[in-house]
Structures are given as structure tokens and as C-alpha cells.
Amino acid sequence: MILEIHNLSKSYGSKMALENINCSFSEGIYGLLGPNGAGKSTLINILVNNLVQNTGEVMLDGKDIRQLGESYRSLLGFMPQQQALFDSFTARRFLGYMGTLKGMEKRKLNDRIEEVLSMVNLSNAADKRLGSFSGGMKQRILIAQAILNDPKILILDEPTAGLDPKERIRIRNMISEISFSKLVLIATHVVTDIEFISNEIMILKQGELVVKSQPAKMLEIIADKVYELHVREEELPKVSSRWRVCSMLKDNDIVIVRILSDDQPEGYDYRPVKPVLEDLYLYLFDDRIKPDTEVLERLKELTNKGWAV
């Protein structure tokens, strides 16, 4: 199975929300990253056939998804960002309702409901009303409805929105478990949600695809740009005005500052450190300092290489 996006653009009036996106997906987990307004929801809404693009197409195994219509939608599971739940419904009744909407046959549906409740670890809450669910339980029941029809393509929009760290980790692990042999696309602006479970990450910035590749490959590109400085507290203002600061840790009378720098931070007590995805994210999205054009070019090359395969 291969899902391809060709020359895809979408605008709302004069606002370009997506600009000439080209990439492809097969089975695996893909993390879709970008700050608010980057175009993630617009892309997802096009991929699930809820929104029509201005130009370009999305093809599943060489066929336009808009022409495939119902046969495409039957392969699809979608967890939208904000979904009003029916508070008075029990979990089991809600899934029954969603399954009926999806046109699932009643007998098969009842068995499948028990199966997915167990997959999202909600079997014990099957007869509880959704109104009494915690945030994490609500997210899990929304994932459950998305996988009811055993979709080959699963699209999750901000699946951990509003959750505490423990619940985030739980949802993250659950997503990896249910994703076997599916194409899963997870949109988020939280880097840690997808860093360790995605085969590939794609990053959108103001409607443009900055990169789509394996995390390790993109991190290689900023391998010589992340440093740890040991500075005195009074030096901090100078350091933060000069570099992008990823984090700071006070240790007695010194501060350990993790910075991004295109050059070696001469004049300071420093050591190079291994980049993580958050570093790349900050490198691309820090408003004050523009990313190096060579880095952007190399990220583009990576994306195109993946596309050519």
C-alpha cells in the first residue's frame, strides 16, 4: 500500500495553508509536526476526504482518493482533534453507534467492540458513561472508535491533547501497539509524543514541507550544532541573546546551558552534544534566529531522496 501526495496546495481565500506538498507513505508510523497554523489539520482533512484541495492530488496505490470515495473511506480510521462526546452514552453504546455509522454488520460489530475495548484498556469501563471519563480515557475511547473497522490507514489528530505526562506515555505506547501493519499518521505539536515511535517524521512550516525522513537522518544534519555551555549566572543574558537556548540547568554556582549554534561557541567552556528532535524543532522554529540555508537545503535533499524511492 502506498499513499502519495502530489503537488498538493490549499488556500483559504488569500491565505496559503499548504503549498505544493510532495511526499509518500507506506506502512509504518509517521509523525506530522509543526506549530499551530503550520497546516497539519488542513493536510489531515484533505487526507480523510473532508476537505478539497485547490491543486494536486492524493493517490492510494495510483488511484485518486476522491475517485475511490467509499472504498477509500472504508480503509480509513480517523480520530479528529476535537470531538464532542455523548456524555450520557456508555463506552459500549458509543462504539456501537460509531460502528453503525461506519456501516459495520451488527454481529461482527459486537465482537469487535469487545476487542477494541480491550486493546485500549477500557474493558472495565465499558458500561460507564463517557461523561464520567478522565481526559486519558476519553482520548482512548476516541482511538477505539477510529480502529473499530480495523483500518489500514489510521490518522490521529493531536491524540494526546490536554493529557498529563503519564497519560501521554500510555497513549503513545498504545498507539505503537495497535499500529502493526498499518499506515499511521499522527499530527501533533508535541515533539516527544512521536519522537521515539515514528519511523519517519514530517515537519511543516507555514504550509511548506520542511523535511520528511527518518529522525536519525535529519538529526545528522544538525550534529555539529548542539553544545552544552558551562557559564556563570551573570553571563546568561549574553548567552540567550546570542544563541537559541534549548534548556538550562543550574548546578551550584554554574549553569549548564544547551544551545544551538552554527559555529563553535569559542570563548566559553563548551562541549558538543548529540542532538535530539526537540533541538531540530527549535532550530527551525525559533523566531529570532533564521535557520542556515544549507541546513534547509540538506533537509530538502533528504525529503526528495525519500520521495524518489
Q: Which residues bind to ligand ADP, rule: CB under 6 A?
A: 12, 15, 17, 34, 36-42
| 146 and 156 Cβ atoms separated by less than 8 Å | yes
Interatomic CA distance for residues 104 and 110, integer angstroms: 10
* 248 sits in which H/E element: strand 244-251
> Which residue, 47 or 226, is less far from ligand ADP as judged by CB?
47
Our CB check for ligand ADP shows the closer of 10 and 244 to be 10
Minimum separation from the CB atom of position 40 to ligand ADP (A): 3
In whole angstroms, the minimum distance from the beta carbon of 41 to ligand ADP comes to: 3
| Beta carbon nearer to ligand ADP, 41 or 145 | 41
For ligand ADP, the closer of residues 43 and 163 by Cβ is: 43
Q: In a 10 Å sphere around its CB, with 0-12 CB exposed, 13-18 middle and 19+ buried, how is residue 105 labelled? A: exposed
**Please, what is the minimum distance in Å from the beta carbon of residue 81 to ligand ADP?**
8
Encoded amino acid at 212, one letter: K
Closest by CA to 31, choosing from 221, 219, 146, 176, is 176
Closest separation in Å from C-beta 16 to ligand ADP = 8
Q: Contact at 8 Å (CB) between 254 and 231?
A: yes
- Non-local CB neighbours of 30 within 8 Å, separated by 6+ positions: 183, 184, 185, 186, 198, 199, 200, 201, 202, 212
Q: How far is the CB of 83 from ligand ADP (least distance, A)?
A: 15
CA distance 232 to 255: 6
For ligand ADP, the closer CB: 17 or 221: 17
Query: How many angstroms from the chain centroid is the CA of residue 218?
Result: 16
Closer to ligand ADP at the Cβ: 22 or 110?
22
Residue 168 belongs to what H/E stretch?
A: helix 165-178
80 vs 272, which CB is nearer to ligand ADP? 80
Nearer to ligand ADP, 98 or 280 (CB): 280
Compute the distance between CA of residue 271 and CA of residue 111 in angstroms, rounded to an integer: 57
CB nearer to ligand ADP: pick between 36 and 241: 36
Measure Cα distances from 183 to 88, 137, 227 in Å.
33, 24, 36
Closest CB 11 distance from ligand ADP, rounded Å: 8
Beta strands in 37-82 (DSSP E): 55-60, 63-64, 76-79
Write down the least CB distance from residue 12 to ligand ADP, Å. Answer: 3
Which candidate, 172, 187, 118, 105, places its Cα nearest to that of 147? 118
Nearest distance from residue 152's CB to ligand ADP, in Å?
24
Q: Which amino acid is at 140?
A: R
Enumerate the β-bridge partners of residue 226. 260
Q: Beginning with the edge strand found earlier in the chain, give each strand of the sheet holding 244-251 in spatial order.
A: 244-251, 254-260, 226-232, 269-272
CB of 43 to ligand ADP, least distance (A): 7
